[in-house]
């Protein structure tokens, strides 16, 4: 297959060291699954992908803002109408708050319809003297600590493909069916606001958004939902490379090959080695791609990544998603901004204020504090402003469910609340109230900056 990218083909990653891959016990089953996957229709199209790339290019130059969010890991069990609807709802609400407060269009990208593979700090999990493979996400194995559950099963890739398709089908139907009709009062059920010292502020913002919607509709004689179709794009960590390869295809009338399993695949921090398989795979596909950038990143490594992943300085091609932790961002980010500047390439800078701020509670639960998440986000805005660059987006782990995984927020969740509804099998997510509150906090920060 001709790709146009030098010395690259969808399987060229196989010649490089591939971290975070499962050991499938049965090669024949693996080959059969991949051959089957390669015959199935794509989940997204190249024209949607190109449209997203155009919007990300606008975000890179400060004319649009990226909101990326969703579960740390989707689970097969949660491929359910209520879970999908609620997650979409909170992303839509957040995007409206951002559009209103930032006075610019927002590009909405979900961590959904394919976010099934997880990198782990260790390949093996030992409990009471017994060692089994680590749980790597539902596309690979199952969580319970038994040999049968933990053995990687390639057939789960077909299941992940199907559930991604089911999720995406429902999202597309909701969007087409007027899901974004913002007049439904339940979109603005802001009960939590009462608990916040900023209640009056939030209520005024919501009142202004409603007023603006009414005004738009009066002058245009159209429902807002008809004015601009609400769009959602999909993203996931492109971790399980055989799966990504099987969905990498040419597109009619276009040059290049696309990963048609998601609009916006990203490379995780643990697999961003310059000579590694994940970077090799990503360099050849035509999609916009993200790279997570954490405290271990060096200036020369980042320069190499930027040059390799965006050799032609294509607008919208590369997003750097930074995740240092509130305590480290001020030291870590400025030299990396300088390094990117030295490459002469334009990137979209996005802040993931979740992954650098994870801590363990006394009882051994992973959590994150609302105030630390917000602190990293505010510092990201400040550092970019001081360096003369734009923070063009935010990346959150969130759910539309009423979970208790992160500490803080208007309701003041504390450590003792976490047991009540801690559902994540991986990282702690903002619940719907905390997520919406975070959107309010972003615009409050922007307003303070703009004086």
The binding site for ligand PEP (CB under 6 A) comprises: 72, 119, 268-270, 292, 294, 323, 355, 427
Piece in contact with Co ion (CB under 5 A), picked from 51-59, 151-159, 361-369, 422-430: 422-430
**Nearest CB to ligand PEP, comparing residues 307 and 366:** 366
Query: Which of 117/230 has CB closer to Co ion?
Result: 117
Query: What is the chain's length?
Result: 451
Residue 271, Ramachandran bin (φ over 0: left; ψ between -120 and 50: alpha; else beta): alpha
Two tokens, residue 188: 């603005």
User: Residue 291 binds which entry of Co ion, ligand PEP, none, with Cβ cut-offs from 5 to 8 Å by kind?
Assistant: none
Tell me whether residue 427 or residue 437 sits nearer to Co ion (CB atom): 427
55's tokens:
């919007």
Interface residue with Co ion among 18, 30, 49, 72 (CB under 5 A) is 72
Residue 323 partner contact from ligand PEP, Co ion, none using kind-dependent CB cut-offs of 5 to 8 Å: ligand PEP
C-alpha dihedral over 362, 363, 364, 365, to 10 degrees?
-100
Which residue's CB comes closest to ligand PEP?
268
Burial 155-184 (b: 16+ CB within 10 A, else e): ebbbebbebbbebbebbeebbeeebbebee
Residue 192 CA to residue 198 CA, distance in Å, equals 11
CB of 237 to Co ion, least distance (A): 9
User: Site for Co ion (CB under 5 A): which residue of 153, 401, 405, 427?
Assistant: 427
Work out whether 398 is an interface residue with Co ion (CB under 5 A): no
Query: From CA 246, how far away is CA 3, in angstroms rounded?
Result: 15
Q: Residues 90, 67: contact at Cβ < 8 Å?
A: no
| Minimum separation from the CB atom of position 208 to ligand PEP (A) | 33
Q: How far is the CB of 353 from ligand PEP (least distance, A)?
A: 11
What tokens were used for 164?
């991604």
Nearest-10 crossing angle of helices 329-343, 370-387: 40
Q: At what angle do helices 155-176 and 27-39 cross, to 10 degrees?
A: 30
Residue 133 binds which entry of ligand PEP, Co ion, none, with Cβ cut-offs from 5 to 8 Å by kind? none
Pick the closer one to Co ion by CB: 243 or 396. Answer: 396
Residue 268: CB minimum distance to ligand PEP, A: 3
127 contacts 145 by C-beta, under 8 angstroms = yes
Give the interface segment with Co ion, choosing from 175-183, 288-296, 321-329, 419-427 (CB under 5 A).
Answer: 419-427
Nearer to ligand PEP, 115 or 287 (CB): 115
Say if CB 296 and CB 305 are below 8 A apart.
no
The alpha carbon of 444 is separated from its chain's Cα centroid by a whole number of angstroms, namely 23
Closest to ligand PEP by CB, 78 vs 427, is: 427
Contacting positions for Co ion (CB under 5 A): 72, 427
């Amino acid at each position: 297959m001709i790709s146009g990218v030098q010395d690259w083909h969808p399987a060229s990653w196989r010649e490089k060291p591939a971290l975070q891959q499962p050991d499938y016990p049965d090669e024949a089953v693996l080959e059969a699954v991949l051959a089957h996957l390669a015959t199935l229709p794509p989940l997204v199209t190249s024209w949607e992908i190109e449209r997203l790339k155009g919007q990300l290019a606008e975000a890179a130059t400060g004319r649009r803002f990226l909101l990326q969010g969703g579960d740390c890991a989707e689970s097969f069990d949660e491929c359910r109408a209520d879970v999908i609807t609620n997650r979409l709802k909170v992303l839509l609400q957040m995007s409206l708050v951002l559009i209103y407060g930032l006075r610019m269009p927002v590009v909405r990208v979900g961590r959904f319809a394919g976010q099934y593979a997880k990198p782990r700090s260790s390949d093996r999990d030992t409990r009471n003297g017994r060692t089994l493979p680590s749980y790597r996400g539902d596309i690979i194995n199952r969580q319970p600590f038994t040999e049968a559950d933990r053995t990687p099963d390639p057939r789960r890739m077909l299941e992940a493909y199907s559930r991604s398709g089911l999720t995406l089908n429902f999202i597309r139907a909701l969007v087409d069916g007027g899901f974004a009709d913002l007049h439904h009062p339940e979109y603005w059920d802001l009960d939590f606001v009462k608990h916040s010292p900023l209640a009056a502020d939030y209520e005024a913002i919501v009142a202004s958004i409603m007023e603006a919607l009414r005004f738009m509709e009066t002058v245009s004689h159209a429902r807002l939902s008809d004015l601009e179709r609400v769009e959602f794009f999909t993203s996931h960590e492109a971790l399980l490379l055989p799966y990504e390869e099987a969905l990498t295809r040419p597109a009619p009338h276009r040059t290049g090959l696309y990963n048609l399993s998601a609009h916006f695949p990203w490379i995780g921090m643990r697999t961003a080695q310059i000579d590694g398989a994940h970077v090799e795979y990503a360099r050849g596909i035509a999609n916009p791609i993200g790279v997570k950038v954490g405290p271990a990143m060096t200036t020369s490594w980042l320069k190499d990544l930027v040059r390799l992943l965006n050799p032609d300085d294509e607008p919208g091609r590369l997003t750097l998603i930074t995740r240092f932790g509130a305590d480290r961002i001020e030291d870590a980010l400025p030299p990396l901004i300088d390094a990117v500047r030295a490459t002469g390439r334009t990137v979209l800078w996005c802040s993931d204020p979740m992954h650098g701020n994870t801590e363990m509670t006394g009882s051994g639960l992973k959590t994150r504090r609302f105030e630390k998440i917000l602190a990293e986000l505010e510092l990201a805005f400040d550092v970019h402003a001081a360096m003369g660059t734009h923070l063009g987006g935010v990346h959150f782990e969130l759910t539309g469910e009423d979970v208790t995984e992160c500490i803080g927020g208007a309701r003041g969740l504390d450590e003792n609340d976490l047991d009540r509804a801690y559902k994540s099998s991986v990282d702690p997510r903002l619940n719907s109230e905390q997520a919406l509150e975070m959107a309010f906090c972003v615009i409050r920060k922007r307003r303070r900056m703009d004086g």
